[in-house]
C-alpha cells in the first residue's frame, strides 16, 4: 500500500449542532416533513422512488451525522464541487490517456476510488465516482480541522512510508513495457464505454436522501458513529499491516527499541558494543536473514551478538527462537540471565535441560518463546515441533560452540538437528558461533551460510611457555616459535624444589591475591594436589585477604553438604584457593564459581572442562601440563584454555603460560603454530549409529518414507559434504542402504510389500525408540527389561523402578565394591531381595563375590553392575544426603550426582518410550513421579523452590526457612527483602531468582490456559445436518 493510498482524512468543521429549520427543503428526509398521509417522494436526480408511511416511528432527536455538520449547510462546498467537476470535464477532453499508479497508460482512466488500490484501478467503472484530482480541489483550510488522533496517525504512517521509500530507492524496478501493453490490451477488451458523468451535487443529494429514507430499527446516530469508527479502525489496521510488512524495525538499536539497549546496560552492565559487534549486526547476511557462521577468540563478546539477534527475532518478527548450549550448567545460567529480559519485553524463556522441558512446547497465547536447550533436548524439541507441524514457528536457531559438531555422538545429534531444520524450514535462520573453527568452508556448505571472522580480543593476550626456570614468549613467526623473555626470580629451598619442580608457586604468587589466576591440570586428582601444595608455601597475609567473605563461603559449602565439608576445600579456601572439577557437586561448583567471580577466591586449580563451560576469566592462565589425562592437547583445547586470560574492563592484558617438559618441546611448537583441527561429521561415529538414528527419526516423523527421499535428505548433511574423506570404503548411498537393512532386522521399520511402492514405515518399537531418544544399542534391551518387569513389578519399594531407569552407559564407569555391595544387599527387605534375584542377581552370587570365591553360576556382570548403581540411587531417594551416600559406597560425590542427573534424564526418556507402547501403560504414571523425585532428590516441600533455575538445595532451605515456601512466594518477593533475610545472597542473585520464578510461574499459567482452550474449543469434526 503506497503513501498516496493511505491518505485518510476525517473532515470535521465544528462541533456545534446545525440548525434544522433552515435546512428543510426538497432534500429534507421524509420524517422531517409534515404530511397527513403516506406519499411517495420521487428522486428527480436518481429516479428512485422512496416510500414512507405514517405508521413508522422516527425520532426528532436523531441527527443524521451526529456531531458532524451537514455538508448541505455549506453552500460554498457545493459550489466548489461544481467548479471541480467543470475543471475535470475539461481535463478529460484535453487528456485522453491516464497513467495509473503503477506506471501503465490507460485509455479509459478510472476515477472511482478515494483510496485507489491495484484492484480498483482495474475493475471499477468510471461512473458514480470521484477522482483524487477532484478531491485535491476541495482541500481548503476548512478541511484541516481534523481530530488530533487522525492527524498523528496519518503523519506517522506517511513518515514511516517515506523512510522506507528512501531506504528502498536503489531497489526500485522500472515498469515493464511488455506488461504495460498486455495490461492495456486487457483493459480495452474488458472495459465498457464510460457513461456521462453525473453532477456531483446530484450524487450527494441522492446519497443523502437514500440514507435518510432507509428504515432502521436502531438509532441512526449510533449506526453512523459505529460506521465511522469501524472504517477508521479498518484503515488503521491495513496501514499498520502494510508498514509491518515493509519493515520490522522497532527502534534505533539495530532495529530494536531503545529499551533493549537500556536493559543490556542495566542488567549486563554493557554500555556500548565493540566495533566488530556493530559490524557483524549490520552485515547484509544478518539484515537479509541468511545463515551465518562467526568465530572470534574466547571472551570476544560472541554471545551478546547472538542475544541481540534472538531479541530481534522475538520482538520484531514475532517468531520463536532456539538457543543450543553444550552443558546443563550453561543452560541454567542463561535462563537466569535472560529471564529479566523476558519479563520486561514480554516473551517466555523456557528451560530444556536434564529432565526439564515439555514436548511439544506449550502454545503461548500471543507471546513468543525462547527455548534454551542442551544438545540432546534441542533435538527432541525439534522432533516434537516437526510432529506437531509447528517447526515454522521457530524463526531462529543459534548454536553455541559449533565446533562440537566434531565431538562424537553429541556432534552427530547437532548435525541431525540442523539438517532437519535446513530440510524442512527454509524460513528459519541458523546462526553458528565458535572460538575455534577449522574447516569453515565445509560448514558453510553444509549450513548454506556466510562466514564472519575477526581476531578481536577486548584484552591483549600474551602467550608464553616455561622451560625449566626460563620463560619464552610464543611467536609462531619465529623459526623456533619461542623467543626468550625472562628468568623466574623466586628463591626455592631444596625441599620446596622437590615439592614444586615446575615452579607453580613462583608463577602464581606473581599475580595473586591482587589478581586472579587459573591453573589447568591434566586430572581431577592433580587439581586437588596442586591447590593443596600451593597453600603450604603461601605466607599468612593471604589468610587476612577478605577473611570474612571466605568464612561465609566455608559456611555455605558446609551447609550444602548437610554439615559435611571437603577437607581439601577446608584447607585451601582460607588462602583464597579452591579446586574445580566434576568431582564437586553442582552446588559446590556454583558456590566456588560465584566466589571466584566476586574476588573472594583468587585462584582455581581446574580441569579443561572449565574452559568449555562458564566464563571465568583470569589475569594469568597456567597450563600445568600439555596433556589432558594421557592425550596431548589439541589446538582447539589449547586456544580455549589460554582464551580465559584477560578480564575485559579489569585487566589491560592477559597472560598464558604453558609449562613444558623438555621432551614435549617439539610437539608444543606444532601445537602453538598449527591451524585449527578440521571438524568432521560424526554421523558415522560408533559404527554409524548416528546415521541409523537419523534414518529412523526421518521415517518416524514422515519426513522421508522412501529410500530415494532418504538419499535426498542425506545429501544435505555434513557427512555428504565430506563424503570423499569419510566414506572411503563405501559410498554414502551404500551406507544408507545398509542402515535401512539393519533397522529392518531390528524390527524398527518395515517396508511396504509392494516392491513398486517401496514405502518405509516405522514400527511401534521404532517410534518409541526415537520419541524417547533411546540409544539404538539399548532399545531392544530396554523393551525386554520393561516387559519382564511387568511380570513381577514390585510397587512397595522404589528399588525395582530405579533399576529399570538406571542408565546403561553408566555401568562401565563404576566397578562395584563387593563388600559394600553385600552389606547393602543384606539390608534389603525380603521383597527387595526377591526382586534382585528376579532380575538375575541372587544373594548367593553377591556373597561369593564379597568372599572372593569362584562363581559357578553364570551371572551377567552388566546386570550386577546396574543393580549396584540402582542401590546407590535407592539410598539417595531414601536419605537425600549425597555426602553420606557417596561415603558409604566409596564413590566421589561428583560421580554420585552425575549418576543422579543421568538417571533423571534417562527416566524421562523411558517415560516417553512407554507412552508409545500400549503394553507398557502401567509405567506412565509411575515414572512421572519418579522423574520428579530423581530430578530434585530433596524433601517434597523444597521441590517447588528448586524448580526455579539456579536454586540449589541449600538455597532452597534458606528460602523455605525465611518464609518463601511456594513458587508464588518467590515470584512476588522483593529482591531487597530477600537480600536482608537470606544469608550470603547478593542483590544480582536475588534479582535473577525472582525473575526466574516469575518466568516459571508465567510458563505454568500458559500451560493451564492451553488446557482450558483445548477443553473449550469447538470440535472441527462436529456432526451437522
So what's the pLDDT on residue 136? 44
Low-confidence ranges of the chain (pLDDT < 70): 1-226, 228-229, 231-249
CA angle 763, 766, 772 (to 5 degrees): 140
Torsion of CA 377, 379, 380, 383, to 10 degrees: 160
The single-letter DSSP state of residue 624 is: S
Name the residue with cell 502454545.
Answer: 363
Long-range contacts of 937-943 (CB under 8 A, 24+ apart): 937/876, 937/877, 937/880, 937/882, 937/900, 938/880, 939/880, 941/965
| Host H or E run for residue 189 | helix 177-190
So what's the pLDDT on residue 299? 79
So what's the pLDDT on residue 13? 44
| Host H or E run for residue 760 | strand 760-762
Mean pLDDT estimate for the chain = 81
Name the residue with cell 517515506.
Answer: 162
Q: Which of helix, strand or coil describes residue 659?
A: strand
So what's the pLDDT on residue 493? 84
Please tell me the pTM assigned to this model: 0.75
Separation in Å, CA 312 to CA 318, 931, 996: 9, 36, 21
430, 447 in Cβ contact below 8 A? yes
431, 398 in Cβ contact below 8 A? yes
268, 452 in Cβ contact below 8 A? no
So what's the pLDDT on residue 208? 59
502, 520 in Cβ contact below 8 A? no
Q: Which three cell numbers stand for residue 830?
A: 525380603
Q: Cis (ω within 30 of 0) for the bond into 360? A: yes
Q: For residue 951, how many other CB atoms are within 10 A of its CB?
A: 23
129, 108 in Cβ contact below 8 A? no
DSSP string, 421-473: HHHH-TT-EEEEEES--S-HHHHHHHHT-EEEE----SSEEEEEEEETTEEEE
So what's the pLDDT on residue 218? 54
SS3 content of the chain, % helix, strand, coil (to 5): 55, 10, 35
621, 651 in Cβ contact below 8 A? no
So what's the pLDDT on residue 752? 86
Long-range contacts of 950-956 (CB under 8 A, 24+ apart): 950/332, 950/333, 950/335, 950/336, 950/590, 950/989, 950/992, 950/993, 950/996, 951/993, 951/996, 952/560, 952/586, 952/587, 952/590, 953/560, 953/587, 954/556, 954/559, 954/560, 954/587, 955/982, 955/985
CA distance 270 to 304: 10
So what's the pLDDT on residue 549? 93
Amino acid at each position: 500500500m503506497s503513501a498516496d493510498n493511505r491518505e485518510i482524512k476525517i473532515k470535521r468543521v465544528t462541533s456545534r449542532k446545525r440548525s434544522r429549520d433552515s435546512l428543510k427543503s426538497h432534500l429534507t428526509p421524509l420524517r422531517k416533513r409534515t404530511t397527513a398521509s403516506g406519499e411517495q417522494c420521487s428522486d428527480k436526480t436518481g429516479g428512485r422512488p422512496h416510500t414512507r408511511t405514517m405508521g413508522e416511528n422516527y425520532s426528532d432527536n436523531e441527527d443524521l451525522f451526529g456531531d458532524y455538520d451537514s455538508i448541505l449547510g455549506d453552500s460554498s462546498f457545493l459550489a466548489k464541487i461544481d467548479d471541480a467537476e467543470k475543471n475535470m470535464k475539461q481535463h478529460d477532453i484535453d487528456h485522453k490517456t491516464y497513467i495509473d499508479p503503477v506506471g501503465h497508460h490507460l485509455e479509459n482512466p478510472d476515477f472511482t476510488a478515494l483510496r485507489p488500490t491495484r484492484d480498483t484501478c482495474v475493475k471499477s467503472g468510471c461512473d458514480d465516482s470521484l477522482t483524487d484530482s477532484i478531491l485535491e480541489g476541495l482541500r481548503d483550510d476548512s478541511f484541516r480541522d481534523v481530530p488530533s488522533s487522525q492527524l498523528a496517525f496519518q503523519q506517522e504512517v506517511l513518515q514511516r512510508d517515506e523512510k522506507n521509500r528512501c531506504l528502498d530507492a536503489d531497489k526500485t524496478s522500472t515498469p515493464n513495457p511488455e506488461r504495460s501493453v498486455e495490461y492495456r490490451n486487457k483493459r480495452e477488451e474488458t472495459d465498457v464505454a464510460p457513461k456521462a458523468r453525473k453532477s456531483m451535487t446530484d450524487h450527494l443529494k441522492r446519497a443523502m436522501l437514500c440514507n435518510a429514507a432507509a428504515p432502521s430499527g436502531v438509532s441512526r446516530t449510533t449506526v453512523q458513529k459505529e460506521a465511522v469508527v469501524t472504517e477508521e479502525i479498518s484503515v488503521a489496521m491495513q496501514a499498520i499491516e502494510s508498514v509491518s510488512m515493509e519493515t520490522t524495525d522497532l527502534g534505533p538499536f539495530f532495529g530494536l527499541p531503545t529499551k533493549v539497549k537500556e536493559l543490556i546496560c542495566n542488567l549486563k552492565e554493557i554500555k556500548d558494543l565493540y566495533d566488530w559487534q556493530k559490524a557483524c549486526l549490520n552485515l547484509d547476511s544478518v539484515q537479509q536473514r541468511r545463515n551465518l557462521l562467526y568465530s572470534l577468540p574466547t571472551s570476544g563478546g560472541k554471545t551478546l551478538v547472538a542475544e541481540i539477534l534472538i531479541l530481534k527475532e522475538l520482538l520484531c518478527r514475532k517468531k520463536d527462537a532456539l538457543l543450543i548450549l553444550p552443558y546443563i550448567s550453561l543452560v541454567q545460567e542463561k535462563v537466569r540471565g535472560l529471564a529479566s529480559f523476558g519479563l520486561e519485553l514480554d516473551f517466555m524463556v523456557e528451560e530444556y535441560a536434564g529432565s526439564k522441558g515439555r514436548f511439544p512446547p506449550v502454545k503461548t497465547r500471543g507471546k513468543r518463546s525462547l527455548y534454551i536447550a542442551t544438545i540432546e533436548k534441542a533435538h527432541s524439541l525439534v522432533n516434537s515441533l516437526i510432529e506437531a507441524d509447528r517447526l515454522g514457528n521457530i524463526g531462529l536457531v543459534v548454536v553455541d560452540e559449533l565446533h562440537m559438531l566434531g565431538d562424537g555422538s553429541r556432534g552427530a545429534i547437532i548435525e541431525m538437528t540442523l539438517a532437519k531444520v535446513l530440510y524442512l524450514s527454509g524460513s528459519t535462520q541458523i546462526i553458528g558461533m565458535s572460538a575455534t573453527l577449522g574447516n569453515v568452508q565445509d560448514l558453510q556448505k553444509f549450513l548454506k551460510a556466510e562466514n564472519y571472522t575477526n581476531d578481536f580480543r577486548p584484552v591483549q593476550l600474551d602467550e608464553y611457555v616455561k622451560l625449566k626456570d626460563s620463560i619464552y614468549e610464543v611467536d609462531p613467526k619465529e623459526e623456533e616459535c619461542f623467543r626468550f623473555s625472562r628468568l623466574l626470580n623466586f628463591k626455592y629451598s631444596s625441599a620446596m624444589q622437590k615439592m614444586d619442580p615446575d615452579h607453580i608457586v613462583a608463577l602464581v604468587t606473581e599475580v595473586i591475591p591482587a589478581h586472579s589466576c587459573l591453573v589447568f591440570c591434566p586430572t581431577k586428582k592433580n587439581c586437588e594436589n596442586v591447590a593443596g601444595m600451593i597453600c603450604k608455601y603461601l605466607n599468612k597475609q593471604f589468610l587476612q585477604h577478605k577473611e570474612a567473605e571466605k568464612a561465609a563461603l566455608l559456611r555455605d559449602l558446609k551447609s550444602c553438604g548437610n554439615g559435611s565439608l571437603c577437607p581439601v576445600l577446608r584447607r585451601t579456601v582460607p588462602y583464597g584457593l579452591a579446586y574445580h572439577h566434576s568431582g564437586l557437586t553442582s552446588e559446590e561448583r556454583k558456590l566456588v564459581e560465584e566466589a571466584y567471580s566476586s574476588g573472594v577466591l583468587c585462584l582455581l586449580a581446574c580441569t579443561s572442562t572449565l574452559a568449555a563451560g562458564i566464563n571465568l576469566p583470569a589475569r594469568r592462565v597456567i597450563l600445568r601440563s600439555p596433556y589432558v589425562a594421557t592425550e596431548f592437547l589439541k589446538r582447539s583445547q589449547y586456544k580455549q584454555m589460554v582464551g580465559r586470560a584477560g578480564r575485559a574492563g579489569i585487566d589491560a592484558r592477559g597472560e598464558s603460560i604453558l609449562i613444558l617438559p623438555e621432551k614435549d618441546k617439539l610437539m608444543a611448537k606444532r601445537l602453538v603454530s598449527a591451524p585449527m583441527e578440521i571438524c568432521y561429521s560424526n554421523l558415522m561415529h560408533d559404527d554409524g549409529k548416528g546415521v541409523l538414528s537419523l534414518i529412523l527419526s526421518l521415517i518416524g516423523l514422515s519426513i522421508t518414507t522412501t529410500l530415494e527421499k532418504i538419499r535426498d535428505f542425506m545429501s544435505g548433511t555434513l557427512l555428504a559434504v565430506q563424503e570423499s574423506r569419510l566414506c572411503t570404503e563405501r559410498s554414502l548411498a551404500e551406507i544408507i542402504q545398509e542402515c535401512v537393512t539393519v533397522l529392518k532386522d531390528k524390527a524398527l521399520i518395515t517396508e511396504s510389500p509392494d516392491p513398486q511402492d517401496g514405502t518405509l514405515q516405522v514400527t511401534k518399537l521404532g517410534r518409541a525408540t526415537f520419541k524417547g531418544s533411546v540409544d539404538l544399542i539399548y532399545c531392544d534391551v530396554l523393551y525386554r527389561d520393561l516387559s519382564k518387569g511387568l511380570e513381577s513389578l514390585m510397587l512397595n519399594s522404589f528399588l525395582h523402578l530405579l533399576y529399570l531407569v538406571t542408565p546403561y552407559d553408566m555401568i562401565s564407569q563404576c566397578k562395584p565394591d563387593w563388600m559394600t555391595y553385600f552389606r547393602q544387599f543384606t539390608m534389603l527387605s525380603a521383597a527387595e531381595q526377591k526382586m534382585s534375584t528376579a532380575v538375575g542377581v541372587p544373594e548367593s552370587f553377591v556373597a561369593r563375590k564379597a568372599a572372593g570365591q569362584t562363581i559357578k553360576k553364570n551371572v551377567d556382570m552388566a546386570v550386577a553392575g546396574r543393580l549396584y548403581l540402582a542401590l546407590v540411587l535407592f539410598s539417595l531417594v531414601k536419605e537425600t544426603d549425597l555426602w553420606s551416600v557417596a561415603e558409604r559406597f566409596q564413590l566421589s560425590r561428583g560421580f554420585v550426582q552425575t549418576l543422579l542427573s543421568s538417571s533423571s534424564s534417562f527416566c524421562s526418556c523411558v517415560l516417553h518410550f512407554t507412552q508409545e507402547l500400549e503394553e507398557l501403560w502401567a509405567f506412565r504414571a509411575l515414572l512421572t513421579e519418579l522423574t520428579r523425585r530423581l530430578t530434585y532428590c530433596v524433601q517434597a516441600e523444597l521441590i517447588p523452590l528448586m524448580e526455579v533455575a539456579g536454586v540449589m538445595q541449600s538455597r532452597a532451605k534458606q528460602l523455605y526457612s525465611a518464609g518463601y515456601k511456594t513458587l508464588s512466594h518467590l515470584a512476588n518477593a522483593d529482591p531487597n527483602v530477600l537480600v536482608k533475610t537470606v544469608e550470603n545472597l547478593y542483590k544480582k542473585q536475588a534479582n535473577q531468582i525472582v525473575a526466574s520464578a516469575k518466568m516459571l510461574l508465567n510458563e505454568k499459567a500458559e500451560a493451564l490456559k492451553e488446557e482450558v482452550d483445548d477443553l473449550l474449543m469447538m470440535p472441527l469434526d462436529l456432526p451437522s445436518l
